[in-house]
Amino acid sequence: MNPVTFAGYCAWIGKEILSGTLDVFTNLVKPGQYGTPMIVEVPLRCESDLEITFFASSITITPGTLVVAAAAGDDETGRRPTLFVHSLFNDTEDEALDGLFDMEERLLRAMRGAGNVPERITPRTGRDADGRAAADGTEGDRA
């Protein structure tokens, strides 16, 4: 782990906390519906307990998001570790997942280095952004 890169990640999380706080406050004072709550399934590229803990903590400390459940990975079936995240201020599931995958990428770059971050795996399909099967040979979540 590069301390300078990790400090940059911490600064970015600080910005996200301030931005999330502003979103919460704005939604409190404007008339109409308060947010668009949803729970999204996030298959993880994080592998170690430390990476998963930092990612879950980063999500939960950011206003408007909260980890509500975690599912362990299974080496026998190839199932990836998964977090279930309550998101309050995203209009669509894809928008929520894009933000969460961006956060995970930033964390993994800070912890592993830029060249050691696997491509995004989409929920339910087990395919990367170009439609290729996951590198580990799985077909993704079967939930």
Query: Hey, where are the domains in the chain?
Result: 3-116
* pLDDT tens for the chain, residues 1 to 143: 888 999 999 999 999 999 999 988 988 888 887 788 999 999 999 989 999 999 999 999 999 999 999 998 887 887 889 999 999 988 899 999 999 999 999 999 999 887 877 777 766 544 455 444 444 444 444 33
Sequence-separated (6 or more) residues with CB below 8 Å from residue 43: 80, 81, 82, 121, 122, 123, 140, 141
pLDDT at 132: 46
d(CA 96, CA 66): 12
CB 67 within 8 A of CB 143: no
pLDDT at 136: 45
In the sheet that holds 82-87, the strands lie side by side as: 38-43, 82-87, 65-71
Q: Which two tokens stand for residue 79?
A: 């199932």
